[in-house]
Amino acid sequence: MSEPVTDSTMLLLGLTLLAYLWGSIPTAVLVCHALDLPDPRSLGSRNPGTSNVLRIGTRQAAALTLLGDLGKGLLALLPAMLLELSPLARASCALAAIIGHLFPIFSSFRGGKGVATALGASLGLCWPLAIAQILIWIAIVAYSRRASLGSISVALLSPILAWQIAPEYLFTFWAIGLILVLCHWQNIRNLMQGTEPRF
């Protein structure tokens, strides 16, 4: 087995920038445009993400958006994974991809809430943890019929999962969880007021 490539500052910065650019690809907007659907930033929750595409479009469009956003998070880590770089380098790419999704340079810095991209990044960082996240999300959404509650719950539980499964990424999942909770602040208010829509 070859020796891991030494992390250099320039390499880390380059891969982090590349990950941000990957994350900035506006999947929902591109999918809706390709399928002749309304711009998700103009209808529904105005959020360019899977849930809103499902709300204003079709299941096919929502599935393509989900796969695209998952792929962004995973592909952003691929160079660091192939080069066998350190957990720090992989974490930097994961966070950059999520930031890119939230504030995409290719879409006037109007992005989604980062859930699917964060899950894709989790698959690259630690796939068993990502599987646990998916199972938690499915269980909570199946019970509550609210996607936002599932996403918030996963965000809050991910640092605990990381502590048990992948302690080298504890800070990373703490940061991702905090970002996702902040992005869902309005949903949290709606849940507390009982006005959050169900599926």
Mean pLDDT, rounded, for 81-108: 93
Mean pLDDT, rounded, for 86-114: 93
Predicted confidence (pLDDT) at residue 6 exceeds the cutoff of 60: no
Q: What is the pLDDT of residue 194?
A: 86
Q: How many CB atoms lie within 10 A of CB 4?
A: 10
Residues 77 and 94: beta-carbon distance below 8 Å: yes
Q: What average pLDDT does the chain have?
A: 91
Predicted confidence (pLDDT) at residue 99 exceeds the cutoff of 60: yes
Select from 106, 89, 132, 142 the least CA-distant residue to 22.
106
pLDDT 10s digits, 23-76: 999 999 999 999 999 999 888 878 888 888 988 888 999 999 999 999 999 999
pLDDT 10s digits, 9-24: 889 999 999 999 999 9
Q: What are phi and psi of 145, to 5 degrees?
A: 65, 25
**Per-residue DSSP letter, 168:** G
Predicted confidence (pLDDT) at residue 101 exceeds the cutoff of 60: yes
Q: What is the pLDDT of residue 57?
A: 85
Please report, as a single letter, which amino acid is at residue 144.
Answer: S
Q: What is the pLDDT of residue 9?
A: 84
Q: What is the pLDDT of residue 4?
A: 53
Verdict on whether the full-model pTM lies above 0.75: yes
Q: What is the pLDDT of residue 1?
A: 47
